[in-house]
Chain A
Amino acid sequence: MQRVSTIRRNIAWLVALIGLLAGSGSRHALALQAEEVSFTATAKAQVVVGEQFRVVFTVNSEGKDFRGPDFKGFSVLSGPNTSSSFSTQIINGQIARSVSYSYTYYLLADQEGRYTIGPATIIVNGQQYTSNGLTINVIKGQTAPKASPGSQQRPSRSGQEPSSGQSLGKDDVFLRVSTDNQSPWMGEQVILTYKIYTRRQISLPSAMVQPSLPGFWTEDLLKDEKQYRQTEETINGSKYVVVEFKRIAAFPQKTGELSIPAFEVEVAARVQSQRRTGDPFFDNFFGGSFFNTYQDIPVTLRSQPLTLKVRALPLTGRPAGFSGAVGSFTFSGEVDRTQLSTNDALTIKYVLSGTGNLMMAEAPEVGFPSDFEVYDPRVSDRFTANRSGLSGSRSFEYIAIPRVPGSFGIKEMTFSYFDPSSDRYKTIRVPAFALEVVRGEGEQGNGTISAVSQEDVKFIGSDIRFLKTGDAGLRMQGASFFLSPGFILLAILPLLLFGLSLVFWKRRTDYLSDYGAVRRRRATRLARKHLRTAYSRLKSGNGEGYYEAISQAIWGYLGDRFNLPLASLTLDNAEEKLRNHQVNEPSVEELKALIGDAEFARFAPPEGREARKDMYARAMEVITRIENEMKK
Chain B
Amino acid sequence: MLWLWLVLSSPVVLGQLSASEAEALMDQAAAQYQQGRYEEALRMYEQIESSGYVSAPLYYNMGNAHFKLNSIPRAILWYERAFREDPSDEDIHFNLALARTRIVDKAETVPQLFFVRWWNELRDFYSADGWARVALFFLSAALALLLVFLLSRHTILRRTAFWPALLALVIMLHALAFAWQKHHIMKTRPYAIIFTPAVTVKSSPDVSSVDLFVIHEGTRVQVIDGLGEWLEIRIPSGEKGWVDAGTLERI
Contacts and interface: CB of A to CB of B under 8 A. Distances in A.
B60 A498 contact: no
A95 interface: no
B140 interface: yes
B146 A474 contact: no
Interface stretch (B94-102, B197-205, B231-239): B94-102
Interface in A486-527: 487, 490-491, 494-495, 497-498, 501-502, 505
A490 B143 contact: no
Interface string B60-99: 1100100110000000000000000000000100110011
B139 A494 contact: yes
Nearest to B53: A474
Interface in A459-480: 462-480
A281 interface: no
A480 B136 contact: no
Contact of B136 (A468, A472, A483, A487): A487
A554 to B, nearest CB: 38
Contacts of A285: none
Given A467-B33, A474-B48, A476-B54, A481 B19 contact: no
Nearest to A487: B132
A475 B53 contact: yes
B216 interface: no
Given A474-B53, A476-B53, A498 B23 contact: no
Interface string B28-62: 00100110000000000000100011111110110
Given A465-B95, A475-B55, A481 B143 contact: no
Instruction: Bin chain B's interface residue count.
Output: 35 or more
Contacts of A474: 19, 22-23, 26, 48, 53-55, 58
A464 B52 CA distance: 26
A502 to B, nearest CB: 7
Contacts of A469: 27, 30
A472 B143 contact: no
B154 to A, nearest CB: 15
Contacts of A480: 128-129, 183, 186
A462 B102 CA distance: 12
Given A474-B53, A476-B53, A477-B54, A494 B132 contact: no
A482 interface: yes
B132 A481 contact: yes
Contacts of B56: 468, 473
Nearest to A504: B151
Given A464-B64, A468-B60, A491 B139 contact: yes
Q: State the 7 A-B residue pairs at the shortest beta-carbon distance, nearest first.
A: A468-B57, A482-B132, A481-B129, A498-B143, A474-B53, A464-B95, A472-B57
Interface of B: 19, 22-23, 26-27, 30, 33-34, 48, 52-58, 60-61, 64, 67-68, 91, 94-95, 98-99, 128-129, 131-133, 135-136, 139-140, 143-144, 146-147, 150-151, 179-180, 182-183, 186
Given A477-B54, A482-B182, A502-B147, 6 more contacts: A465-B64, A473-B55, A474-B53, A476-B54, A483-B132, A487-B132
8 contacts: A464-B68, A465-B95, A476-B53, A482-B132, A482-B179, A483-B183, A491-B135, A491-B139
